[in-house]
């Protein structure tokens, strides 16, 4: 697991934030420029990218998307300094968001959220989750989730995912290995036609597990 802080220039704020995150996660966080991002290779390990929206320009955003698409890199994105305006629009611009922190979040909230994220959980406020659910449901155009054929084990995995369980939690709960959980999640993503964990969680929120 590697955590990068993507920035076009080093600032006092970014230095303080990196120091805070390193203490919270007990991990080394590497400051990364856009030029360095462009020469990175695809990795099998979990790679987290911290994006500071306060310093994010349209040009930087377009460069970021271009680079990850060209390199076929799958980063897990953590957004910082999200404001109260157009939150959902900002989040949905990025392909694999696993954490969102408001501009007003204090040290305690940031520390707690980072710890949850690095063990495989998603860190979103209730307000953001609610907005994403409503938006995702609208885009489904009335397609019933029950039309998807899932195995009993896949339904168990999906239900745990909808409750916010990490891969490790799922493995312990179902008495299987973490690799087995990852395999099931991969198959589920293909069946329900989603690209990441967040979308799968939103999909699961509309699934009627009681019928099963």
**Do 151 and 90 reside in the same domain of the chain?**
no
Domain count, the chain: 2
Read off the CATH number of the domain in which 181 is found.
1.10.10.10
Q: Where in the sequence is the domain holding 16, given as residue range(s)?
A: 2-125
Q: Average pLDDT for residues 71-95, to the nearest whole number? A: 77
**Do 16 and 48 reside in the same domain of the chain?**
yes
User: For 87-139, how does the pLDDT look when each residue is reduced to its tens digit (9 = 90+)?
Assistant: 777 777 787 888 888 888 888 888 888 888 888 888 888 777 777 766 666 55
Residue 207 lies in a domain: yes
Q: Which residues contact 209 (CB under 8 A, 6 or more apart)?
A: 155, 159
Q: Give the residue from 102, 125, 148 where a domain finishes.
A: 125
**Do 96 and 167 reside in the same domain of the chain?**
no
CA distance 165 to 158: 10
Query: Is the Cβ–Cβ distance between 108 and 88 less than 8 Å?
Result: no
Give the alpha-carbon dihedral of 170, 171, 175, 181, to 10 degrees: 100
User: For 182-209, how does the pLDDT look when each residue is reduced to its tens digit (9 = 90+)?
Assistant: 999 999 998 888 888 888 887 887 666 6
**Do 80 and 177 reside in the same domain of the chain?**
no
**Do 36 and 121 reside in the same domain of the chain?**
yes
**Do 68 and 166 reside in the same domain of the chain?**
no
**Do 42 and 111 reside in the same domain of the chain?**
yes
Residue 118 lies in a domain: yes
Strand partners, 76: 48
**Do 184 and 100 reside in the same domain of the chain?**
no
Residue 178 lies in a domain: yes
Read off the CATH number of the domain in which 15 is found.
3.40.50.2300
Q: Would you state the pLDDT for residue 41?
A: 67
**Do 9 and 55 reside in the same domain of the chain?**
yes
Query: Is the Cβ–Cβ distance between 99 and 24 less than 8 Å?
Result: no
């Amino acid at each position: 697991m590697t955590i990068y802080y993507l920035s076009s220039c080093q600032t006092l704020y970014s230095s303080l934030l990196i120091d805070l995150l390193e203490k919270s996660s007990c991990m080394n966080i590497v400051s990364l420029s856009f030029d360095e991002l462009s020469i990175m290779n695809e990795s099998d390990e979990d790679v987290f990218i911290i994006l500071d929206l306060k310093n994010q320009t349209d040009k930087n955003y377009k460069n970021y998307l271009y680079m990850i698409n060209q390199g076929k890199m799958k980063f897990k994105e953590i957004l910082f300094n999200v404001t109260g305006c157009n939150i959902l629009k900002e989040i949905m611009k990025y392909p694999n968001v696993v954490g969102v922190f408001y501009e007003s979040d204090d040290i305690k909230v940031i520390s707690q959220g980072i710890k949850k994220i690095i063990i495989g959980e998603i860190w979103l406020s209730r307000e953001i989750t609610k907005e994403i659910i409503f938006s995702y449901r609208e885009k489904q155009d009335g397609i019933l989730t029950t039309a998807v054929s899932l195995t009993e084990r896949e339904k168990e995995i999906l239900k745990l995912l909808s409750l916010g369980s990490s891969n490790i939690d799922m493995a312990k709960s179902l008495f299987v290995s973490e690799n087995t959980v990852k395999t099931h999640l991969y198959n589920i993503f293909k069946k329900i036609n989603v690209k990441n964990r967040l979308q799968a969680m939103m999909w699961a929120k509309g699934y009627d597990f009681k019928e099963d």
